[in-house]
Amino acid sequence: MKKLSVFEWHRGLKEGRENVQDDPRSGQTKSQRTDANVDRVRILVRRLGVRVTAEELNMNRETVRQIVKEDLGTRNFSAKIVPRILTHDQIQRRLHISFNLVSNADMFHRVITGDETWCFQYDSKQKRQSMQWKTQNSHRLKKPRMSRSQVKIMLVCFFEHKGVVHYEFIDQGQTVN
């Protein structure tokens, strides 16, 4: 307890106070989580949010948040971001095209696709490959961490449904047709 509280209790007991319960206070009630307030919050919170609902109902924001979370059993979710919301006709068209592609599955056996990417050259000798038997007193070999070199090579790869058909490394400065 703080010193001030101890002195106030001491003064009160010296004056003849026997009850140790708090005196009734004026102002807002201690608990605003009544059934009536829960119903009022349920109506407003979806439209206004917690902060505005608390201001509108003249309630504590934390009390409104507890009502929303515990009494109403709701959670706050963000909207899922999608590239575009499709109309009903667009959805039906995509379903129709997808169904046609699946029904003509043999078409995928004739498709070959390709891609390219830049690759950096690395030291291919791994730490495990550099292990040697040494005595405890001999010096250990040092191997630096693998780092990218300045040499870049382009990897061009073509593949089909079974796997890679062809790949080729092309040096910097050459073009791919």
Strand pairing of 164-171 and 152-159?
antiparallel
Question: pLDDT tens for residues 48-67?
Answer: 888 888 888 888 888 888 88
Residue spans per domain, the chain: 31-86, 109-121+146-177
Contacts of 101 (CB under 8 A, 6+ apart): 107
Residues in a beta bridge with 166: 158
Q: How many CB atoms are closer than 10 A to CB 159?
A: 15
Residue predicted with more confidence, 36 or 88: 88
Sequence length of the chain is 177
Q: Tell me: the pLDDT tens digits for 16-36?
A: 888 877 777 766 555 677 788
